[in-house]
Structure 1
Amino acid sequence: MTTRRQALSLLAASAMLPLAPRIAFPAAAFSQVANSGFYRFMLGDLEITAISDGTMPLPLAKIYQDEAEDKLQQELDANFLGTKPHVSINAFLINDGKRLVLVDAGTGTLFGPVAGKLISHLANAGYQPPQIDAIVLTHIHADHSGGLTVDGIPQYPNADIHVAESEYDFWINRSARPKQLQELEADFTRLKASLDPYIKADRIRLFKENTPPLPGFDSIPRPGHTPGHSSIVISSKGQKLVIWGDIVHGDYIQFDDPDVYVTFDVDGHEAVKTRAIALEEAAEQKYLVAGAHIPFPGIGHVVRDETMYGFIPLNYAE
């Protein structure tokens, strides 16, 4: 039995508890582990891995053309994107059980540290550059070919590079009009440097319009963004994925208003015509699309909606 004296002692002790020293626990430190940068799913018998090269904050309201900047910014704000939305740079790896084929190769060091993450994310996905058998370029812009070569060293020593003949003629053989040659001189120089080690090693493979870049892959000419811009098609067990390249930039403005083009388009008006065809076809045929600049992983379906078109991301599955 607790005596009166013991009860008073317990009360006194409890009264002193707020004055007792407390054990301090450190706050949780921010993690230094980066995002893994890949997303994998099966398309029939094909393993598809979307790989992020990073994201770039861009003033999209200024980059989009054929619409008032303030109106464009209002639409971006309505979708919580702000004045410099982060635009994804996506590449796609296809494993058919015999080959590893990479579609587009990221930026390398050309765009600084915000991008150029494709090879590290490739490693996170379980693969190394020497394992890549072939690389198909949707086009030769720096954010698609810059990662082929860094400081003069080819990053994919065992890969053949497949690119549309018309695209190669424009950027490497310089078949452009004189005015374009002058306007795009910096691009011509750095894009030639990205492909040069593969040219010297005789690893460039050119394909014509509407012909397979390599067995098991098809191509669709989608000119405008660049003259030989191509979408790459893969299929398995009745499932189809069209890797778009740069049909759209972002997942709002150009779906709602396909007539908006971007300053990066070599021929903006032709790009508008091409986008109209690509969007209508994707919505009609209901196949999966993969966009280089749709928020990572950039894969989903195109649907018609009350404005024009909408993009429905692929449902996440482990």
Structure 2
Amino acid sequence: MTINRRAFLSTLAAAPVLSLGGGAVARAEAAGAGAITHGFTLGDARVTVLLDGHLPVGTQLINGYDEARAQQVLAQGLHRMQDNALTIPVNGYLVERAGRRVLIDTGTAQLMGPGLGALHAGLAAAGVAPDSIDTVLLTHMHPDHAGGLLAADGTAAFANAELVVAQREWDFWHDDAILASVPEGSRGFFDMARRAVAPYADRLRLLQGEGEAAPGFTALDLPGHTPGHTGFMLDAGGEGLLFWGDLIHSTALQFAEPGWTIAFDADPAQTVTTRRRMLDRAVADNLLVTGAHLDFPALGRVLRQGEAYAWQAAPWQFGL
């Protein structure tokens, strides 16, 4: 299908937004309605998971989808399909370490409908002012990751932050030849990406391959979902956490069926190759991982399950 803003918004109507509650979840009352956060300490870092909201992914968006197999997988867990869609979260991350504040992805702001856009309220709930953010690390420039870079008036939402993004990602979205070659309905993605990052032009750092993205963070090249899709490994004084962006969209289905991709994966074959490589690494190294669309609060480990994988969520006490 054509990847455009209308397609994104149409998926929002495909299934109801799920509610979350209980546990060590902070809700913003005065700071902002709908804000949900989950904070925990890892080594010498404090990490806060910021729930931007939820969006439904219809089965028509899943490449390789097989209804019988999907129902078999779903029957083994607690996820349920509603109106031929699975609801997935959009997560961002605040990492406070060594006196610095790093934000990984920024949510959607107002780009993708009323069920999203709560990340800034989550920051307020955590007592963090946008102008206190030192660095914003972008996994990629899709609107559910870069949309929150902008304030409502179109200025930079993070007035003092350096923006860090992969050179290959930046080049893709700013290439006029590529823009001219895509279907007209998909060009809105390029417009949204360019507008989101434009106010940061004077404090932009472009990553050249893998290496230090910020103090304590190593960039990892994870191409496929987008050409410059990037993960970040946090070294928190001997404790590690892998932020893998959009390596997995559906916790319910893609660990069991890692060959299934989503319509928004720019290169499905490369996406699967990258996914299997990183899932294998996560298993072999027993990594603690988190991702933008893993079930909130999105912390856990990857297990081997035959030729596929399984997700083991961290106990809720992890956040205490």
TM-score range, shorter chain: 0.7 to 0.9
- Residues 70-118 of structure 1 show CA distances to partners (whole Å, capped at 9, x for unaligned) of 5435544664421332210001111013110000000010011110000
| SS of the residue 1:272 aligns to | helix
Please tell me the residue identity of whatever aligns with 1:66: G
Please tell me the residue identity of whatever aligns with 2:140: H
Match of 2:52 in 1: 53
Mean CA deviation greater in 219-228 or 185-194: 185-194
Instruction: Give the Cα–Cα distance (whole angstroms) in 2 for the partners of residues 174 and 269 of structure 1.
Output: 25
Structure 1 unaligned spans of 5+: 1-30
Written as runs of structure 1 = structure 2, the 5 A alignment for 1:146-295 is 146-149=147-150, 150-174=152-176, 176=178, 179-180=181-182, 184-199=186-201, 202-295=202-295
- Residues 204-225 of structure 1 show CA distances to partners (whole Å, capped at 9, x for unaligned) of 1101111211232101100000
- Root-mean-square deviation (CA, aligned residues, Å) is 2.1
| Number of residue equivalences | 285
- Structure 1 residues 177, 277: closer, same or farther in 2, change over 3 A? farther
Q: CA deviation at 1:180?
A: 3.6
| SS of the residue 1:304 aligns to | strand
Q: CA deviation at 1:287?
A: 1.2
Please tell me the residue identity of whatever aligns with 1:215: P
Match of 1:38 in 2: 37
Q: CA deviation at 1:182?
A: 5.0
| SS of the residue 2:213 aligns to | coil
Please tell me the residue identity of whatever aligns with 2:156: P
| SS of the residue 1:212 aligns to | strand
Match of 1:66 in 2: 64
Q: CA deviation at 1:236?
A: 2.1
CA contact (8 A) 2:216 2:236 kept: no
Please tell me the residue identity of whatever aligns with 2:169: E
Give the alignment's TM-score, normalised by structure 2: 0.83
- Residues 288-316 of structure 1 show CA distances to partners (whole Å, capped at 9, x for unaligned) of 11110011111111111246211111211
Rg (Cα) greater in structure: 1
CA contact (8 A) 1:174 1:181 kept: no
CA contact (8 A) 1:252 1:310 kept: no
Percent identical residues? 34
Structure 1 runs of 4+ with >6 Å offset: none
| SS of the residue 1:256 aligns to | coil
| SS of the residue 1:139 aligns to | coil
* Structure of higher RCO (CA pairs closer than 8 Å, 6+ residues apart): 2
CA contact (8 A) 2:52 2:108 kept: yes
Instruction: Give the Cα–Cα distance (whole angstroms) in 2 for the partners of residues 160 and 77 of structure 1.
Output: 45
Q: CA deviation at 1:268?
A: 0.7
Instruction: Give the Cα–Cα distance (whole angstroms) in 2 for the partners of residues 68 and 89 of structure 1.
Output: 25
Instruction: Give the Cα–Cα distance (whole angstroms) in 2 for the partners of residues 41 and 109 of structure 1.
Output: 28
Q: CA deviation at 1:172?
A: 2.1
- Structure 1 residues 186, 220: closer, same or farther in 2, change over 3 A? same
CA contact (8 A) 1:169 1:175 kept: no
Written as runs of structure 1 = structure 2, the 5 A alignment for 1:50-129 is 50-59=49-58, 61-69=59-67, 71-72=69-70, 75-76=73-74, 79=77, 80-82=79-81, 83-129=84-130
Match of 1:24 in 2: none
Please tell me the residue identity of whatever aligns with 1:262: I
Please tell me the residue identity of whatever aligns with 1:86: T
Give the alignment's TM-score, normalised by structure 1: 0.84
| SS of the residue 1:62 aligns to | helix
Instruction: Give the Cα–Cα distance (whole angstroms) in 1 for the partners of residues 127 and 99 of structure 2.
Output: 16
